[in-house]
Amino acid sequence: MRGFPDLPIELVQRIVQDVARDNALASAKWVASLARVCRAFHDIVDPIFISTVRMTDTNCSLVAAHKHRCARASRVIISLKATDHEPALRHLRELVGLAAFSPKVMTIGIDKGRTSRIVFSMAARLQSITHIYLQIYYYGKTD
């Protein structure tokens, strides 16, 4: 009986590409593991995997460490919920300052206040942006 290894390489590449694209947002760890299967899979998955960069309070230093790679992203999701946003803002400034950084879509999820204005003004200065989505988090008592 014939199996997956017997399929034409073009079909295998297309299957890997479609599976990676379908799961990139929902299961980034799984897509990352798919990229580690072999060099051929890595070459297929890497452009999909890096097309969306998520920057959070907990991974901002990792994004900064790979800022040249992350600069290729066409979509950036920023989600800051911690009380101290300075480290994330510093790393975001570095990313925005790169000439290669030209995302088309930016989603900003942040608490109301000064930090949201800073992030929004950084995003607004990027001429490549076609869409900006804002999610404002409100904490405290609700009426």
Tens-place pLDDT, residues 96-134: 888 888 889 888 887 766 677 788 788 877 888 888 888
Lowest average pLDDT, out of 15-19, 35-39, 48-52, 79-83, goes to 79-83
pLDDT of residue 83: 67
If you ran DSSP here, which 8-state letter would residue 85 be given? -
Under the banding of pLDDT at 50, 70 and 90, the label for residue 1 is: low
d(CA 67, CA 93): 11
Q: Which residues pair with 106 in a beta bridge?
A: 76, 132
Tens-place pLDDT, residues 24-61: 777 878 888 888 988 988 999 888 878 888 888 888 88
